[in-house]
Amino acid sequence: MKRLIVTADDAGLDPGMTAGAIEAHRNGIVTACSIVANGAAFDDAVERLRDVPSLAAGVHLALVEERALTTGEPMPRNYVRFLLASRGDVERELRAQIEKVLATGLRVVHLNGHQHLHMLPKLFELVERLAVEYHIPYVRRVRDFGGHVPLPRRLAINGLSRLGRKAKGTNDRTIGVANAGHLDAAQILELLDYVDGLTELVTHPGIAVTRYPHWRYEWDQETAALCDPRVREAIAARGIELARPV
C-alpha cells in the first residue's frame, strides 16, 4: 500500500507560514504541520491550530537560527555552525521545546528537525528516545527521492539520505526535501512517482511571509501547488492514500 503524509514545516516562525499550512490543509493535500516552539509566531500558531484539529500537529525541533528556550541565547545560524559550536545541553533544550507544545493542549503526534539536524546519528537516537518517553508515535526519517536540484544541494541531500538509510524512524522515505521552498505543482506530480510504502512529502507553504527573506523560499507558490486540484487527482489516480503521522 502506498501512503503519503504531507507535512507543512515551520508553523510558528511567521504567521504567514502557519496560515499557509492551514490553507493547504483545508483546500489542499497537507495532512500535518510542524510547530517551532521557539519561533517568534508560536502563540499565533497555537491559537490558529486549535481551530483545525484535523491537521496533525508535531514539533519542529530547532537547534539553529532561533533563540534557545532554556537559556534565551541565540542559537548557531546554520547546520555547519552548529557542528562547530559548543552544543550545550541539547537534551534539555529539546525537552523544553516538546513540553512547550504539549502544554498548549495540542495533540502532538510527530517530531522532526529544523534543517533536518535531528538526522545526525546521536541526535536521532536522542529524538527517538524522547518520542517514546513523550508517547509521540512518529519521527521523520529523511531518505529523499527525486527532485531536480543543483549538484551542491544534491550532494547535501544524498548525505542526509545516507544517514536516513541507517536510521530507524517511522516512514520509509521522503520526497520534497531536495526542493524545499521551491515546489510547484509540476514538481509535486513528478515526485508522486517515488511514493512507496509510507512516504512523507515535506513542504513549506506560506501566505505573505515577511520573515526569513534570506531563505528565498517561494511560500505562496508552494501553497498554490498544494491546493492545485490536479495534485489531488493524481494522488487518487495512483492509488495513493493521504495519511496522517499516527
Residue range 191-207: mean pLDDT, rounded: 98
Q: How confident is the model at residue 223 (pLDDT cuts 50, 70, 90)?
A: very high
CA 106/CA 101 separation, integer angstroms: 7
Residue range 202-221: mean pLDDT, rounded: 96
Task: Please say if the pLDDT value at position 3 is more than 70.
Answer: yes
Burial of 102 (0-12, 13-18, 19+ CB in 10 A): middle
Which element (helix H / strand E) includes 123?
Answer: helix 121-133
Percent of the chain with pLDDT over 70: 92
Scanning the structure block, which residue is given the C-alpha cell 505573505?
Answer: 208
Longest dimension (CA), the chain: 50
**Structural domains in the chain plus CATH codes:** 2-243 (3.20.20.370)
Scanning the structure block, which residue is given the C-alpha cell 511567521?
Answer: 14
133-157 confidence digits (pLDDT tens): 999 999 999 999 887 766 566 667 6
Rounded to 10 degrees, the C-alpha dihedral 131/66/100/33 comes to -60
DSSP letter, residue 204: -
CA 232/CA 246 separation, integer angstroms: 21
Scanning the structure block, which residue is given the C-alpha cell 489531488?
Answer: 232
16-44 confidence digits (pLDDT tens): 999 999 999 999 999 999 999 999 999 99
Closest CA to 171 of 142, 150, 146: 142
Task: Please say if the pLDDT value at position 165 is more than 80.
Answer: no
In this prediction the pTM is 0.94
Percent of the chain with pLDDT over 90: 80
Residue range 64-83: mean pLDDT, rounded: 88
